[in-house]
Structure 1
Amino acid sequence: MKHVEFYRNEKDNSILAVVGVQAEQEVVVDGQKLVRLVADSVDAAKEKHVPAVRKEGGRLLVEVGSVTHPMEEKHYIEWIALVSDKSVDIRYLNPGEAPKAEFEGTSGVVYAYCNLHGLWKTEV
C-alpha cells in the first residue's frame, strides 16, 4: 500500500495529501502549519462515518456509513479516497449528493472525510 498522510489547513480548510513518504515533524504551506489528520480519532457516530465497502466485479462500491451520512450544507462528506499500491484516487462530493463513490480495483484503504468529524477509513 502506498503511504499517505492527510493534512488540513485550518485557515482555509484545504486538504493536502502527502504520498509516498512520511512528512517531517511539521508541514507548512504559505507560512501556515497544517494539522495532520488521524483516521478514526474523533469521538463521533462510527455508523455514520466509517466507509462501507462492497466488491463488485473489479470495482469497489463505497457508501459512507452503515447509516447514511447527512449531506447538508453545514455537515457533509467532502471526499472519498481509495489508496492502493498503484494510486491515490479521490472523489469529491457536494452537499445534496449521495455519500458514495465507485473505484476501479479490489483492494486498498478507503478514506472518507467529514467536514465536521474528520477522517475515517476502512481497509479492504
Structure 2
Amino acid sequence: MAEQFGVYRCEICGNVVSVVEPHPPELVCCGQAMTLLKAKTKEMEGEEKHVPVVQVEGNKVVVKIGSIPHPMEEKHFIELIQLFAKGKLIAEARLYPGQKPEATFLVEDASGLKAREYCNVHGLWG
C-alpha cells in the first residue's frame, strides 16, 4: 500500500506522484512498482540550495527553498513545495521554470509547521 503523504518516483519515465490518501495496491508506473523517496536533510551535500526555509508573519507563511536561491531553469527546478502542520499536509504549491523558488500560504495556525520540496534533479528535501 502507498504511504500517506509519500512521494513516489518511476525509475523508468521519471513520473512523480504525491499520495494524499493511501489505498492498496502499490503504485505502479511503466509496469513496475514506483520508488518511495526519502527526504534528504540539512546534513547532506547541496543543502544550501535545497532545504526549505519557513518564515512566519502572522497567518502568512513563506517557504523559500535554500539559504542560496535554487535555480529555476528548464532542466533543473523545484517542482513542488508542501507545507505540513502536526503531521498533516495542509498546503502545497506547484512551481515551474522561471518562477521564484518559493511559495506563500495563508494558515489559521502557524504552530508546528514543516515544509519539504521536490527538486526534479536532486529529489525530495525536507
Alignment check: 8 A CA contact 1:44 1:117 kept: no
What is the match of residue 38 of structure 1? 38
1:79-94 aligned within 5 A: 79-85=80-86, 87-94=89-96
Letter in 2 for 1:59: K
Which residue does the alignment assign to 2:70?
A: 69
**1:47 and 1:22, CA in 2 relative to 1: closer, same or farther beyond 3 A?**
farther
The alpha-carbon deviation at position 60 of structure 1 amounts to 1.5
* TM-score between the two structures when normalised by the length of structure 1: 0.79
Percent identity between the two aligned chains: 40
Deviations 1:39-75 (A, max 9, x none): 0169541000000111111122111000000011111
- In 2: Cα distance, 1:51 partner to 1:23 partner: 31
Does the residue aligned with 2:40 lie in a helix, a strand or coil? coil
Match of residue 114 from structure 1: 119
Which has the larger displacement, 103-112 or 93-102? 103-112
Query: Following superposition, which runs of at least 4 residues in structure 1 exceed 3 angstroms of deviation?
Result: 19-24, 41-44, 85-88
Structure 2: tracts of 5 or more residues without a match = none
**CA distance in 2 between partners of 1:104 and 1:14 (Å):** 29
For residues 17 and 75 of structure 1, what CA distance do their matches in structure 2 show?
19
Partner residue in 1 for 2:59:
58
Unaligned stretches of 5+ in structure 1? none
Give RMSD over aligned pairs.
2.6
Letter in 2 for 1:108: L
Q: How many matched pairs?
A: 118
| Structure 1 residue 12 displacement after superposition | 3.2
1:52/1:115 CA distance change after superposition, 3 Å = same
Q: Is the 8 A contact 2:13 2:30 kept in 1?
A: no
State the match for 2:103 in structure 1.
101
